[in-house]
Amino acid sequence: MSIKTAADIVRMREACAIAATVLAKLKEHVAPGITTYDLDQIAKTLIAGYGARSADYGYQIGSRRFPAYICVSVNDEIVHGIGTLKRILHDGDIVSLDVTVEYNGCIGDNALTMPVGRIAPALQQLLQVTERALQLGIAQAKVDNRIGDVSAAIQEYVESHGFSVVRDLVGHGVGFSMHEPPEIPNFGRKGAGPRIKAGMTLAIEPMVNLGGYRTKTLADGWTVVTADGSASAHFEHTVLTTDRGPEILTIPRSA
């Protein structure tokens, strides 16, 4: 588990600020009628405008390479959705945007789920609970805590609201590559797992389903959906651990 140096952290701040600014600008384009392909292309342009590179594009698992610039996942899609002209966003949908960029050799990773137009109260609650679960998880990313403290805080809060946490996908360390140790599950036990030290950069990312936690992957080989067809939400930040407590790095740059 790598501990970032002061110089590494300077670069991580840059990459994370770009990832967050791209995400903030992309959000403004979400409305009924836009396609998920449009969102992908807007993100591609924004990323290039900051002199950064999509860490998703060409990302390889086995023999497959991810063919898009961000992940756009609608309704029952949990993560890794691929933008397509065939997918038009409609009033009442929820859409997850996950932006991961590389800048100067460092990676920033962040995501959120947002309403398209007006959404049902149950979906509003799903979004609120998932975002709050992320905040509670981040609050546990304290020096001398363990990764299980982050996991347990997320799981307990989500399950107390009757939702479920996805088990097949986890948060992760992030830095010089998109996925570094440690794994950060959204379920687990307090006091378990690796100890948190100062200078870790962690992508904490609860994925929360309205129904059951089981998943399946679509025939495109990437899009992960809920097995029961229920809606799913995802919020993610890249966080730096410090002796003064966790610091969220994926904060948009003003102006």
Q: Does 147 bind Co ion (CB under 5 A)?
A: no
Q: Between 192 and 221, how does the x/- string for binding to Co ion read (CB under 5 A)?
A: -----------x-x----------------
The answer to whether residues 196 and 141 touch, using CB atoms and an 8 Å cutoff, is yes
Q: Does 138 bind Co ion (CB under 5 A)?
A: no
Sole window of 41-49, 92-100, 117-125, 186-194 interacting with Co ion (rule: CB under 5 A): 92-100
The interface with Co ion within residues 224-243 (CB under 5 A) comprises: 236
Q: Smaller CB distance to ligand MF3: residue 77 or 98? A: 98
The interface with Co ion within residues 18-47 (CB under 5 A) comprises: none
56 binds, among ligand MF3, Co ion, none (CB under 5 to 8 A by kind): ligand MF3
The answer to whether residues 190 and 255 touch, using CB atoms and an 8 Å cutoff, is no
Residues that bind ligand MF3 (CB under 6 A): 56, 59, 66, 71, 80, 98, 100, 109, 203, 205, 236
Q: Smaller CB distance to ligand MF3: residue 183 or 190? A: 183
Q: Smaller CB distance to ligand MF3: residue 76 or 102? A: 102
Q: Smaller CB distance to ligand MF3: residue 70 or 129? A: 70
Q: Does 56 bind Co ion (CB under 5 A)?
A: no
Q: Smaller CB distance to ligand MF3: residue 38 or 56? A: 56
Alpha-carbon distance 238 to 17, whole Å? 10
Alpha-carbon distance 221 to 233, whole Å? 20
- Enumerate binding residues for Co ion (CB under 5 A): 98, 109, 111, 203, 205, 236
